[in-house]
Amino acid sequence: MIRKKIDNSGYNQLNLFDIIDRLSHEEKSTTTKAGTFNIDVRVRALLSDALKQCTYSREYIAARMSELTGIEITKSQLDSWTAESKEQHRFPFAYSAAFCDATGSLEILKLVVEMVGGYLLKGEDALYTELGRIKKNKKELAEKEKLINQTLEQFKLKRK
């Protein structure tokens, strides 16, 4: 089995503007090819990379996930979820938030969100995005207000 290396270093990571540019230049298919969402190998690679890059031990991560979920999760389970040879042991998505919190990696969530055409924004980026949305809404409301005021003025002129 050929394993595709997934770059999590951030150097080859697209920023929001790169993604928007890419989407605007690509014609998005209306049909999804069968098997496109079979991401087991990618999930295992992301889990493995997150565990390697994390400063905490697998034992600590398992204990933290157990604490967060209220369900016992062991180092052995983490090892099974990342091992390519253990195809029957799949990472439960219900544990993804706890895994992200314990490792500090959001790559699993980012993969899923991007597969369905979304963007994962966090912290300051999310706030700037919301601020942009607010400014756009304000501008649209100001334009509507101006149009309504102009229309009211026309009604006043017609009455005279």
- pLDDT band of residue 46 (cuts 50, 70, 90) is very high
Burial, 66: exposed, middle or buried (Cβ in 10 Å; 0-12, 13-18, 19+)?
middle
Rounded Cα–Cα distance for residues 151 and 145 (Å): 10
Separation CA 146–CA 140 (nearest Å)? 10
Q: Is residue 48 predicted with pLDDT exceeding 90?
A: yes
The percentage of the chain sitting over the pLDDT mark of 90, rounded to a whole number, equals 46
99-119 per-position pLDDT tens digit: 999 999 999 999 999 888 888
DSSP label at residue 73: -
* DSSP state, residue 12: S
Residue pair 92/98 in contact (Cβ under 8 Å)? The answer is no
Q: Is the pLDDT of residue 147 over 70?
A: yes
pTM: 0.61
Using CA of residue 102, residue 107, residue 108, residue 113, what is the dihedral sign?
Answer: positive
Q: What is the pLDDT of residue 16?
A: 63
C-beta neighbour count of 102 within 10 angstroms: 24
- Going by pLDDT thresholds of 50, 70 and 90, the confidence category of residue 35 is low
pLDDT score at 39: 78
pLDDT value of position 146: 92
DSSP one-letter string for 62-112: HHHHHHHHSS---HHHHHHHH-TT-TT----GGGHHHHHHHH---HHHHHH
